Structure 1
Amino acid sequence: MARTTDHLAQFFGYYKNLGGKATARGTAPVVGRSLRTALGSWLLTGSPDDVAFKACKARQRKTPQGEAFDLRDVLRIAHPAADDEQRKVLFGWIAGNVTDEQAREALPAVHRFLTAKAVTSADEAVRVVTELRVPWEFLPDAMLREPEVWDTLAGTIGMTALLRNLARMTRIGALTPMGDTTRRAVDRLTDREALLKARVHPMDAWLAMRVYASGQAQPSPRAARQTWQPVPAVLDALEETYELSFGSVEPSGKRLLVAVDSSGSMSYGHVYAGGSPLGTTYEVGCAMAVMLSRIEKGNVHVIDVDTTVHASKVTPRTNLREIASWQPSGGGTDLSLPFTWASKKRLNADGIVVFTDSETWAGRSHPAQAVEAYRRKINPLARVVVAAMTAAGYSIGDPKDDGVLNVAGLDASLPLVVNGFVRS
C-alpha cells in the first residue's frame, strides 16, 4: 500500500501517533520486529534501481503531524540487509556513506536524477526530459518556473501530476487560450483510456476543477497568494475528466442513505483546499452526494436535513454547475433526523452518510442515541459516516462506536474512505 515516500511517511506518522509512547519531547515510536519488517520491506521490494527511482523522487516527506521523515530514518530504524551489491550502494547513498559518483555508476536512476538536478537552463531541462525521460520531480525548482519546460512536461508527466499542476502551468504562461500546450493538455485530460489506466478518481477531477476555476491559492498562510486566469478550454476539459473518471471506480454494492445538512449555517461557511475556495459547505456537501450517487449506481437515496427532512434535488445525473445556484433550506439543525426518519420509513440502509458542519442543537435526542435506536429497529449492522466539511473540534458521532466513522475536513480520499468503511 505504501507505494511512495509520501505513503511511507503517512504510515509512520499514524503508527507513531496511535501506538507510540509519551516522552518528554512528545511521542516516540515503539520499535519492534513488525515495524522494522514493514519499513525495511519498502527498501527491499523491487529492483534496486526501482527503489532508487522512488527515493530520488522524494527522499523526505512530512508525517501527518508535520514532522520530517527521511529515508535515512527508515535505514536507522529497520536496518535492512542488502541482498546484492547494487542495493548495498543504494543504502550507502541514502545514508550519506556513498558518494554521488559511486551511486551514479551503479544505479541508472541516480544518474538520471543527478543529471537533471545539474541543469541550469530551460533548454537543458527540456533535453533531459526528452532524452532521459526524467520525471518533473527530478528537476530543480528554478526550472519548474520556465514555460518552455512545462511545454514539454505537459505531454510526459503522470495524469495526477498534470491535474495538480494546471494552475502552475497557467500562472507561468505555459497554458494559454488556443496554445499548443493547452491543446496537448486538453487531449490528455479527455483521453478516456489514459484516465482509466491512471485510475483517476472523480474526487481528484472534481477538486482539480474547483481549485483551477477559483483562480487563486494560498497553500501556506505565510506565503503570498497565488493567482491565475483560468483558461476556458481547460475548464471544459476538466468537466469531461470528471465525467469520464467514473469508469474507474468500483461501487461498494451497499445501500446508502446520504443526508446533507441544509441548515442556515451551511451557507455561511466555505470549504477550502490548499487555500483555494471550493464553495459553500452546502454546495460541497451536495457535490459529494452527487458523486456517491453516481458511484453506487442507484443504491443511494439523498435527503436534506435541517429541523425537518426535505427532498433533495440531487440525482446521479445532476450537473455540478447547477449546484452552485442551490441554497440550503435554512433554519436550525437536528442531525438525529436522518436516523429517526430512516427508522420511521423502515429504510434498510447498510450505511448512513451525513455531510454537515456539525452545528447541531435542535431535536429531542442526540444523534448517537438515534443511531442506536435505528440499529435496534431496522439494521443492527448499519455503518455511519459523519463527514464534517469544516473541522469544528467535535462531532455528532460517538467515537467509541466501532460502527461510526467521524471525518473532519475534506480531501481527495473522502469518497474512498466512505466506500471502504461502509463496505467493511
Structure 2
Amino acid sequence: MEQTTNPDKSDHFPRELNDKAKLCRFLCYGSEGDTYTPGEEFQPRMEKAGALLSLLQEGRGGEVVEEVKRFVGGGHVACLNPCLFGLALCSQCSELQTRQAAFKALKEVCREPSDLFAFIRYKKELMRGMRCGMWGRALRKAVSDWYNQQDAWRLAAAVTKCKQRAGWSHKDLLRLSHAKASKDTIVLINKYVTKGWKEVQVWYADRENPEEVVQLLAYLAAVERVKQRCDEEEVVLLIEVHRLEVEQLLTDHLKSKQVWRALLKDMPLGSVLRIVGKVTADQILEPGSLDMTEFCNRIQDEEVVKNAHIDPFDILLAMENYKRCQSSGGKTRWEPSGPILEAIGSAYHKSLQNMEPTGKRFLVAIDISASPRSLVPGTALSTAVAAAAVAMIISGTEMDTQVLVYSEGDVSPCTITADMSLADVACDLVKSPTGPTDCTLPITWALQEGKAVDVFVVLTSNPLWTFAASPVETLKKHREKRGTFSKLVMCGLTAIGHTIADTEDTGLLNICGFDTGAIKVIRNFAMDLI
C-alpha cells in the first residue's frame, strides 16, 4: 500500500467558481451549472448566459471571444450552438473592440454553412424588439468575408448540398450582405447562388475564363445535370468524375446499387458508418467481392480515420447499431457482415490513437446493482453497453486507469484488455439486480487501497441511491489523504434529473443520461477546462 503523502493544503480547495469558469461550462454544454443533460435541446436564452453577460459588462469581451475560439478550435464542445450564441452576443456588445473580435472570429467558429445560418438566426433573435436594423456595416462585411475566405471548391460543394437552414439561405445572406467577391471563382459561385444556373451559362458563354473557373463551371454543370432524370450510367460517371455526393442526387438515383457503389468510394467516414446497415440490407456490395474488400479497407484506413475526426464513442455506437440487425424504426433489417464488423472494430482502435491522453489518473466505477439491460434514454444502447464503452475508451486512452464494478457492499476490480470487444466487456456487467446502490463505495475502495485518483467516473443505472456517507465528504477525505484535488463525475445513465452536487465545489460534475458529447465533457472536466 502506498504511503500517505503530506499534501499542500492549498491543493485541497477547488478553484474559484468565477464567471470565467461558468463561461467555460456554458460554451461546453450550454449551462453554467454543474449538470450536463445529454439530448437536451439548447435554448438560446439570456438567463443561461449570465456569466458571459457579466464578463461583457466588465469589458472582458475579448476574453470571451478567445474562449469561444479555443473551445471550438480544440473540439471541446458537446454542442456547438452555445458557442454560436455566445459569439452572437459578443457581436452585439456595446464595446467596439469586442464586436470587432467577434466578427473577425466568424470564419474560425462557423466552419460550415449550417453554423453560419445558426449564428445569423441568433443575431436576429437578439435584435428582436430593437429599433435599429440587424444588417449593419460590420455584419455585412463579416458575412461577405466568410464567403470570400472559403476555398472555392469547398464552397461550391457547400452551396449545392446545404442550400438553407434555420430559416436562412445562401441567397439571403449574399443579398443582405451586399457581398463583393474577391476572386473569380467566388464571383462565379455568388452569381450561381443569386442568379441561377441559366444566367451563369449566358454570362460565361463567350468569355475567356481562367482554368479554375472553367473547372468550376464543369462541376456546377454536373450538379445541374444530375438533377435531370439521366440514366444510371451517366449518374455514375458524373459521381466518379466530379465527386458528387448523396445530397446532390435525386431520390430516384438512390435506388440504384451502381450509384451507391460509386458514392461509397469517396463518402466521408461518418456518413459511411450511418449507412452500413442499408449497404448490407440492400446488398449493395456482394460478400467477398473486390468492392466489399475496398469498402472495408477504407473504413479501417488509418489516414481516413484520422482525417474524419470521429470520436471513438461514435464508432462504437455505429457498431452497436449495426449489430442490432435493424434500423431504429425497424423498417430495414439485415444480417451483419463479419468483415464490416471487423473493419468498424479496427477503426475504433485506430480512433483511440487520435485522442490525446489527459495524463490524469482515472478510476471508472460501474454500478451493477440494477439491471444493465435498461436503455439509455434517447439511444438504442443498453446501460451495460454505454458503461462498457466509457470504460473501454478511458482505459484505451489513459495509461493510468482502474476499472471497478460495484454493487451494495461489494467492489471488484475489472480488467479490460486491448483485444476485448465491446460485447465482451458488456457481458461481464450483465448481472441480476440486487437493490439500491452506494455510489461512495468506489471512493472508499480507493481510500482503503491507497490509490491516488485524479478523476472518479461513477456510472450507475440505479435511481435508488443510498450512502454510508456523503459522496462530497467521502471525496474530501480522499483529497486530504492523497494530497490531490480529486474530482468526481456522477453519471446517472437513466436517472434523468437525479444529481449529487455541492455547488461550491468545482470538482463535482453530474451527467444525467449519456451521449457522444458526454465523453468530451468528462475529458474537459479532467483537463480543468470546465
Asked whether the 8 Å contact 2:388–2:426 carries over to 1, the reply is: no
Q: Deviation at 1:210?
A: 1.0
Alignment match, 2:102: none
Match of 1:250 among 330, 333, 356: 356
Matched, 1:238 2:344: yes
Q: Deviation at 1:362?
A: 0.8
Which amino acid is the alignment partner of residue 437 of structure 2? T
Asked whether the 8 Å contact 2:363–2:403 carries over to 1, the reply is: yes
TM-score by length of 2: 0.64
Match of 2:408 among 289, 307, 316: 307
Distance of aligned partners of 1:384 and 1:120 in 2 relative to their CA distance in 1, 3 Å threshold: farther
Q: Deviation at 1:172?
A: 2.1
Tell me, in whole angstroms, the C-alpha distance in 2 between the residues paired with 1:69 and 1:215: 38
Tell me, in whole angstroms, the C-alpha distance in 2 between the residues paired with 1:372 and 1:40: 53
Asked whether the 8 Å contact 1:113–1:138 carries over to 2, the reply is: yes
Alignment match, 2:453: 349
Distance of aligned partners of 1:236 and 1:59 in 2 relative to their CA distance in 1, 3 Å threshold: same
Distance of aligned partners of 1:180 and 1:414 in 2 relative to their CA distance in 1, 3 Å threshold: farther
Mapping of 1:2-401 within 5 angstroms? 2-6=110-114, 42-61=146-165, 70-71=169-170, 82-84=181-183, 86-87=185-186, 90-91=189-190, 94=193, 97-102=194-199, 108=217, 110-218=220-328, 225-265=331-371, 267-271=372-376, 277-278=380-381, 280-296=382-398, 298-317=399-418, 318-326=420-428, 327-328=430-431, 330-331=433-434, 332-357=436-461, 359-372=463-476, 374-375=478-479, 378=482, 381-390=485-494, 392-397=496-501
Matched residue of 2:150: which SS? coil
Flag the structure with larger Rg.
Answer: 2
**Percentage identity across paired residues of the two chains:** 26
Tell me, in whole angstroms, the C-alpha distance in 2 between the residues paired with 1:330 and 1:258: 20
Specify every segment of 5 or more residues in structure 1 that has no aligned partner in the other structure, as ranges: 25-29, 62-66
RCO higher in 1 or 2 (8 Å CA, sep ≥ 6)?
Answer: 2
Which amino acid is the alignment partner of residue 212 of structure 1? Y
Compare the two structures and name the one with the higher strand fraction: 1
Matched residue of 2:416: which SS? coil
Q: Deviation at 1:285?
A: 0.1
Distance of aligned partners of 1:119 and 1:388 in 2 relative to their CA distance in 1, 3 Å threshold: farther
Which amino acid is the alignment partner of residue 355 of structure 1? L
Which amino acid is the alignment partner of residue 491 of structure 2? A
Deviates most, 341-350 or 231-240: 341-350
Q: Deviation at 1:234?
A: 1.6
Tell me, in whole angstroms, the C-alpha distance in 1 between the residues paired with 2:507 and 2:140: 31
Tell me, in whole angstroms, the C-alpha distance in 1 between the residues paired with 2:344 and 2:432: 30
Distance of aligned partners of 1:52 and 1:215 in 2 relative to their CA distance in 1, 3 Å threshold: same
Tell me, in whole angstroms, the C-alpha distance in 2 between the residues paired with 1:406 and 1:31: 41
Q: Deviation at 1:371?
A: 4.2
Which amino acid is the alignment partner of residue 314 of structure 2? D
Asked whether the 8 Å contact 1:174–1:181 carries over to 2, the reply is: no
Distance of aligned partners of 1:48 and 1:391 in 2 relative to their CA distance in 1, 3 Å threshold: farther
Asked whether the 8 Å contact 2:440–2:471 carries over to 1, the reply is: yes
Q: Deviation at 1:91?
A: 4.8
Distance of aligned partners of 1:205 and 1:337 in 2 relative to their CA distance in 1, 3 Å threshold: same
Tell me, in whole angstroms, the C-alpha distance in 2 between the residues paired with 1:196 and 1:100: 37
**Alignment: residue pair count:** 400
Tell me, in whole angstroms, the C-alpha distance in 1 between the residues paired with 2:458 and 2:364: 6
Q: Deviation at 1:212?
A: 0.9
Which amino acid is the alignment partner of residue 261 of structure 1? D
Deviates most, 188-197 or 130-139: 188-197
Asked whether the 8 Å contact 1:135–1:157 carries over to 2, the reply is: yes
Tell me, in whole angstroms, the C-alpha distance in 2 between the residues paired with 1:31 and 1:53: 26
Which amino acid is the alignment partner of residue 132 of structure 1? H
Which amino acid is the alignment partner of residue 55 of structure 1? V
Q: Deviation at 1:167?
A: 1.2
Q: Deviation at 1:226?
A: 2.7
Which amino acid is the alignment partner of residue 225 of structure 1? K
Asked whether the 8 Å contact 1:352–1:383 carries over to 2, the reply is: yes
Specify every segment of 5 or more residues in structure 2 that has no aligned partner in the other structure, as ranges: 1-72, 74-109, 205-212
Asked whether the 8 Å contact 1:164–1:208 carries over to 2, the reply is: yes
Matched residue of 1:125: which SS? helix
Distance of aligned partners of 1:343 and 1:8 in 2 relative to their CA distance in 1, 3 Å threshold: farther
Alignment match, 2:51: none
Deviates most, 284-293 or 115-124: 115-124
Matched, 1:422 2:520: no
Q: Deviation at 1:300?
A: 0.9
